[in-house]
Structure 1
Amino acid sequence: MLTFRLRSAVSTGVTLGAAAMGGAVFAALGLPAAWISGALVVTIALAVAGVRIAVPEWLRFLAFIVLGASMGTALTPETFARAATWPVSMACLAASVLGTMMGGTLFLSRVAGWSVQTAFWASAPGAFGTVVAMAADTDADLRKVAFAQALRLFLLVVALPNVLGATGLAAGGVPLPLHASTAAELALLLTVCVGAGLGAAGLKVPGGLILGALAGSAALHATGASTAVLPQILIVPAFVVLGASVGVRFLGTTLGAIRAFFVAALGAFLVAVSISTLFALLAAWLTGDDLGKLVTAFAPGALEAMTALGFALGYDPAFMSAHHLFRFAGLSVALPVAARLLFAAAERQAGATGQDGGHTK
């Protein structure tokens, strides 16, 4: 037991140390969302190289609470006033999710030659854990599904901030605190956020920890009960832990698997991003809202990672969390129904074809 704990501690130390170095390098280069993307790139390199890496659940818990609490401090009455336009963008998002699913499934099945079931689950835009769990009960190739999902999230976290920055669409990044909060103010904020995060997670709310903490922080600040803001010394390590947590998903991925699945998964990613960007353009035209914010909100990645990425890029956290939660909840409900209808129809068609073939013989 002692040896196991020592190995776990060493793995955690190596992972977070390397992730922090990667984030620092990206930050020194002036790249957007540097601490998340830098940590992610280095952690994935370690995973593919076969290094033992780990991020304990309690560290992820703390990181999500800190990030949620920090996002909530950015919410203002003006934010909620702008929410009147959200139903329009959410309708565009729903159409975007349907379009990316259809486009990805068609590409992977018709062009890459993957089975329809594998292509369907690999094309689900986000909800990594839920998708893999659902796909495990089918005939889908879980290696391909997991790799396509992980590669899409990696490319979104690393590439999206830089593309937005290069095109001038990125916002100003996380705002620096306007004043130094006292220890008592921070204790109150974090206590409420821990309670709200645990409550939301207990109710099985998707992304409950980070969204619950965000809601708790927003309630305090919207009512004037708190004006506390978290210092960068807490926010930066939370970004590093988040990036490393995503990178750990690549554990067990070999260079052989990357070579075998990369082209197909990359093609599906480009199809998905192209479709989601088209719908973001439509939403921007209909609402007059910021295109960079809509592209990030429509990005087909994991809820927690994409919400935090939007925050790191300086976008409205309420808008980001609402849209990514809407996408995640919709997928959780619609995927099992769509899968049953799609695969049942395919089985009936295959059965009919078999019967026809037998009759002609």
Structure 2
Amino acid sequence: MSRLVYRLTHAAAAAGTLAASGLGGLAFAAMGLPAAWISGALVVAIVLAVAGVRVEVPEWVRFLAFIVLGASMGTVLTPETFASAGTWPISMACLGLSVLGTMAGATLFLHLVCGWSRETAFWSSAPGAFATVIAMAADTRADLRQVAFAQALRLFLLVVALPNVLGGLGLAGGGVPEPPHVSSAIDVLLLLAVCAATGLLATWVRVPGGLIIGALAGSAALHASGVSNAVLPQGLLIPAFVVLGASVGVRFIGTSVVTIRAFFFAALGAFVVAVVISTGFAVLAAYLTGEDMGKLITAFAPGALEAMTALGFALGYDPAFMSAHHLFRFAGLSVALPVAARLLFAAAREKDADNTR
């Protein structure tokens, strides 16, 4: 009986989270906001989490949503997408410089202006890779509360504010394109089955953002080879966007109003510094490559790989470009962060150890 009650409690929490998040997305969509279903769901999920309401997104629901998103992204890739890939090394070089600049700027701001410890400021400034950053920071003397809050706030602000800022500046894309035709249920199910397999394979071999990236690759391969021309109906995409927004929102579980008051302005300032620097490099990349400015700003945005790739797709930008750049950033961070942390902080630790002897 206790196990049944446990399962029912979790099911009720998940159903309530997704229903409330869906209403948030609907409200944002009714206001005509860009990426409304993602950002509206995110806002509601965060409000519930901070209010102490039990919020959950089951792993299997998240799995289905990410497979749907990846599969849908793959259906919009065209030969023109890959023809333009020749300019990607230039924009990726600018992105690498952007990552260095945003980390340096935000770290200095948090340490020198806000008084955060050097290690806390360093890990708080890592642009994206939330779970990886938290795992790495856990083995250091960084304050994990500050790191987690700064990372979560940055992702929240990017998902909610970035689409609206780009829209206000006339830089947002045209949104998700309408399906060019209606596919049969069998074709859609076959597409999703293949994408689920490729998503699981990518996760198994530890590709960052494996579910979305693997599903995208599987869908792109099917469509590029002519094996499938199936497209997903909008009715599947909207719930997937809601799940994505709610999944980001549940990261604020355990965040209290006291925590928000204590860390908000420091994290907000670091976010502004990072966005100004990343936007500057995006403008440079746009000048050098001739690519769309809004697309590059979104590709350079220092947020989570899955969330930013899906956000770019929701705004109407090329998902192959988005995923390639965010994957490049994530892979670079995964390799460079532990090396940089050791170079920056190992000497200080050894000095402290000598002083305690």
TM range (shorter): over 0.9
RMSD over aligned Cα atoms: 1.2
1:158 aligns with 2:191: no
Aligned to 2:257, which of 251, 255, 258?
A: 255
Percent of paired sites with the same residue: 75
Residue identity in the other structure for 2:268: L
Shift of 1:178: 1.2
Partner of 2:175: 173
Shift of 1:90: 0.1
For 1:26 and 1:176, the matched residues in 2 are separated by 20
Residue identity in the other structure for 2:307: A
1:147-199 deviation per Cα after TM superposition (whole angstroms, max 9, x unaligned): 00000000000000000000000010000111110112112211110110000
Partner of 1:282: 284
1:58-111 deviation per Cα after TM superposition (whole angstroms, max 9, x unaligned): 000000000000000011111000000000000000000000111111000000
Partner of 1:196: 198
Aligned length: 354
1:1-361 equivalences under 5 Å are 1-347=3-349
For 1:58 and 1:340, the matched residues in 2 are separated by 37
Question: Counterpart of 1:172 in 2: which secondary structure?
Answer: coil
For 1:207 and 1:313, the matched residues in 2 are separated by 19
For 1:177 and 1:245, the matched residues in 2 are separated by 26
Residue identity in the other structure for 1:81: A
Q: TM-score, normalised by structure 2?
A: 0.98
1:38-59 deviation per Cα after TM superposition (whole angstroms, max 9, x unaligned): 0000000000000001000000
Shift of 1:345: 3.5
| Bigger Cα displacement from structure 2, 31-40 vs 221-230 | 221-230
For 1:347 and 1:142, the matched residues in 2 are separated by 18
For 2:84 and 2:194, the matched residues in 1 are separated by 26
Shift of 1:346: 3.3
Residue identity in the other structure for 1:232: Q
For 2:99 and 2:62, the matched residues in 1 are separated by 28
For 1:346 and 1:225, the matched residues in 2 are separated by 58
Give unpaired runs (5+ residues) of structure 1. 356-361
For 2:58 and 2:352, the matched residues in 1 are separated by 46
Any runs of at least 4 consecutive aligned residues in structure 1 with deviations exceeding 6 A, and if so which?
Answer: 349-352
Partner of 1:358: none
Residue identity in the other structure for 1:57: E
Residue identity in the other structure for 1:325: L
For 1:183 and 1:311, the matched residues in 2 are separated by 23
